[in-house]
Amino acid sequence: MTADPGRAAFLRELCGRQEDLLVWKHLDRSLEGRGDLDAAAPRRCLPGIVADARLLARDGLQASIMICCEHVADKQLLFFVRPKLLPQLFEFDVCTGPSRGLAPWADPHDMLDLAVLDDGIRRLRPGAEAIVSIVYHGLSALGTDRLRGDERDIVRRGLDRDLDGALAACRTLPPIEARASLVRLIRRVSEGSWSRRDAAAAWFGFAMTGPRHPGFTGRRIAFRWRIATGRDCVMGRLARRHDRQVSADGLADVLRVARLDGHEVVSL
């Protein structure tokens, strides 16, 4: 059962209006009211998505304020103030250029071919979502199995239900250098085991593609440098350090600093 039906209603309406928008990871967790909501779309779709989100948020989310953040490389962040659910803010992210390390992967155009409609919400099919979890939470330079908790469950369910979708995602979403080793790893994981050799090879396949994309890699380095030096924006710090929570008494100060930081703060 959905613990936060407002999120589901909002997303269902938004997917109906924006045919190139999809949720690419952690939908179930978000609809339970845990964490942010991770969507993806081609960059050209961002203005329409932001406009529709603004239009739908008041009724769908019962939100009173929307804060737009463009400080994260290749991503649009929208934070919604829902007075009845304070101190928790709702964060809705639209990624136009997913990355693994400093390298691009999982182009939103390619993800659309691996998407399904689930109760009106466009999302990656289960096998493809399992690949996302393995790429972000399973791979390492040493090849050790790093999957834990929710991520391990996502991978297990996804591969059990949709191994074909997982293999299709392996052959489509990662850089070419990582595909073959990732396919071999997925076959091993689907059989209940793990291959350190293939996991490490996939990790290095991602790592070696960064220099081919200097603009993308430069944006990621600059973003990480701002975080490391404490120069990231107030909304980024709120999400990363405080789980997107702000008290009703402290909300006015957060909005004031957000405006000074260059965010658009919109009353709904």
- Tens of pLDDT, residue by residue over 113-128, are 999 999 999 999 999 9
Task: Check residue 126 and give its pLDDT.
Answer: 97
Domains within the chain, CATH numbers bracketed: 1-124+245-268 (3.30.460), 125-207 (no CATH)
Task: Check residue 1 and give its pLDDT.
Answer: 42
Kind plus residue range of the DSSP H or E element containing 100: strand 99-100
**CA distances (Å), origin 142, targets 128, 167, 204, 209, 239:** 24, 23, 10, 18, 30
| 242 CB-near residues (< 8 Å, 6+ apart) | none
Residue ranges for the chain with pLDDT beneath 70: 1-2
If phi > 0 it is left, if psi is from -120 to 50 it is alpha, else beta; for residue 67 that is beta
Whole-angstrom Cα distance, residue 41 to residue 73? 14
Task: Check residue 210 and give its pLDDT.
Answer: 85
Does residue 14 contact residue 68 with C-beta atoms inside 8 Å?
no
Task: Check residue 2 and give its pLDDT.
Answer: 56
Does residue 15 contact residue 43 with C-beta atoms inside 8 Å?
no
| pTM of the predicted model as reported, rounded to 2 decimal places | 0.94
